[in-house]
């Protein structure tokens, strides 16, 4: 059973408020729709029920279909829980056409919640897709907790610490806030929410464009702010480590992490065993750019030796 990495003070704001607003606005009753004089105004307002190119949708009667916001929330919850959703099952569960489901999946893919695959959609990472924050927080939880506890031991009272937007670094926060005094620099909204609950923590939030799927601020503003800052320790992670090279699926994340590496004296990389020997689209850098790598005990020794060969300190949690 998946458990939260953080206590109740960390709850990423729901991203469905605007979806519900749009959905409710698009379903506002209007008596003119029943008036033949105004029929031409409403002719194109129900594309989901007039798809003539989809044989299945013609055969499927949409009885009591859920509103769009409800559908998106249902699909998101389902894919985060199981990692995969099937189009046919969604059609049966939600009472809408296949074309409607495909449009919903496309919208969620644009938001970074999932990626469309044959027969459905997946929340699992691929070479070109990184899973969203809430999905990642529910996986490898025990390993991330052990890594986080070991990582926090590398920080001291009075340190200035950078924390990136990874769930591995996010797990360090409950341990880290025991340091007093402490300064945290971060682009991660859940980290900001957690740190702000502790009066002794000086919090510096990095600006930029907010990306809901990552729960983080990215872009030129974020990177520019990092150029004017310097920290004692960086806690960061990434999607992939192959040999001695680090990768990530999103170039916006790559450039932000590079700026963080340049802004810290000690750079600690947090990597559970699921991130080894796999690829991602963009090269982030070399593992030797970090001073320490902390892993769980599920990483084979053969994957650790290239890191040690680069002169990097390896800790197994």
Q: Specify whether 87 is located in the same domain as 178.
A: no
Q: Specify whether 294 is located in the same domain as 151.
A: yes
Residue 149 is assigned to a structural domain of this protein: yes
Q: What is the CATH number of the domain that holds 233?
A: 3.40.50.1360
Supply the mean pLDDT for the chain. Answer: 81
Q: How far apart are CA 28 and CA 228, in angstroms?
A: 50
Residue 26 is assigned to a structural domain of this protein: no
Q: Specify whether 266 is located in the same domain as 162.
A: yes
Residue 276 is assigned to a structural domain of this protein: yes
As a dihedral over the C-alpha atoms of residue 284, residue 286, residue 289, residue 291, rounded to 10 degrees, the angle is 120
Q: How far apart are CA 125 and CA 121, in angstroms?
A: 12
Residue 113 is assigned to a structural domain of this protein: yes
- The interaxial angle of helices 68-82 and 87-94, nearest 10 deg, is 140
Residue 34 is assigned to a structural domain of this protein: no
Q: What is the CATH number of the domain that holds 53?
A: 1.10.10.10
Q: Specify whether 158 is located in the same domain as 256.
A: yes
Better-predicted residue by pLDDT, 201 or 73: 201
192: helix, coil or strand? helix
**pLDDT tens sequence across 155-168:** 999 999 999 999 99
Banded pLDDT at 85 (limits 50, 70, 90): confident
Q: Specify whether 146 is located in the same domain as 275.
A: yes
Q: Specify whether 99 is located in the same domain as 152.
A: no
Domains held by the chain: number: 2
- Residue 17's pLDDT is 31
Q: How far apart are CA 69 and CA 56, in angstroms?
A: 23
Containing structural domain, residue 263: 134-316
Q: Specify whether 95 is located in the same domain as 168.
A: no
- Residue 15's pLDDT is 39
Q: Specify whether 85 is located in the same domain as 193.
A: no
Q: For residue 21, give every residue at least 6 positions away whose Cβ sits within 8 Å of its Cβ, in sequence order, or none.
A: 69
- Tell me the average pLDDT across 47-72: 54
- The interaxial angle of helices 98-110 and 68-82, nearest 10 deg, is 70
Better-predicted residue by pLDDT, 46 or 187: 187
Q: 121 near 78, Cβ under 8 Å? A: no
Which of 89, 124, 159 is a domain's end point?
124
Q: Which of 61, 39, 38, 64 is nearest to 49 (CA)?
A: 61
């Amino acid at each position: 059973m998946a458990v939260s990495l953080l206590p109740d003070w960390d709850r990423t704001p729901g991203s469905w408020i605007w979806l519900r607003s749009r959905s409710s606005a698009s379903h506002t009753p209007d008596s003119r729709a029943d008036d033949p004089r105004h029929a031409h105004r409403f002719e194109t307002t129900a594309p989901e029920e007039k798809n003539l190119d989809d044989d299945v949708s013609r055969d499927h009667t949409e009885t009591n279909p859920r509103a769009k916001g409800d559908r998106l929330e249902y699909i998101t919850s389902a894919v985060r829980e199981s990692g995969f959703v099937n189009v046919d099952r969604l059609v049966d569960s939600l009472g809408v056409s296949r074309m409607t489901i495909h449009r919903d999946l496309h919208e969620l893919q644009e938001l970074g919640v999932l990626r469309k695959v044959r027969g459905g959609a997946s929340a699992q990472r691929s070479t070109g897709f990184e899973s969203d924050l809430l999905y990642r927080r529910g996986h490898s939880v025990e390993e991330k907790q052990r890594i986080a506890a070991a990582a926090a031991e590398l920080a001291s009272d009075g340190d200035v610490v950078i924390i990136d937007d990874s769930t591995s670094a996010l797990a360090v926060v409950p341990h880290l806030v025991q340091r007093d005094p402490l300064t945290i620099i971060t682009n991660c909204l859940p980290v900001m929410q957690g740190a702000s609950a502790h009066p002794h923590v000086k919090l510096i939030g990095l600006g930029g464009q907010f990306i809901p799927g990552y729960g983080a601020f990215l872009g030129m503003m974020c990177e520019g702010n990092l150029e004017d800052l310097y920290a004692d320790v960086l806690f960061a992670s990434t999607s992939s480590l192959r040999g001695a090279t680090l990768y990530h699926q999103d170039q916006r994340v790559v450039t932000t992490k590079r700026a963080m590496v340049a802004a810290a004296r000690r750079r600690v990389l947090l990597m559970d065993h699921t991130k080894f020997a796999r690829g991602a689209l963009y090269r982030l850098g070399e593992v030797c750019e970090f001073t320490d790598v902390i892993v769980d005990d599920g990483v084979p020794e053969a994957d650790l030796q290239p890191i040690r060969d680069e002169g990097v300190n390896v800790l197994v949690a």
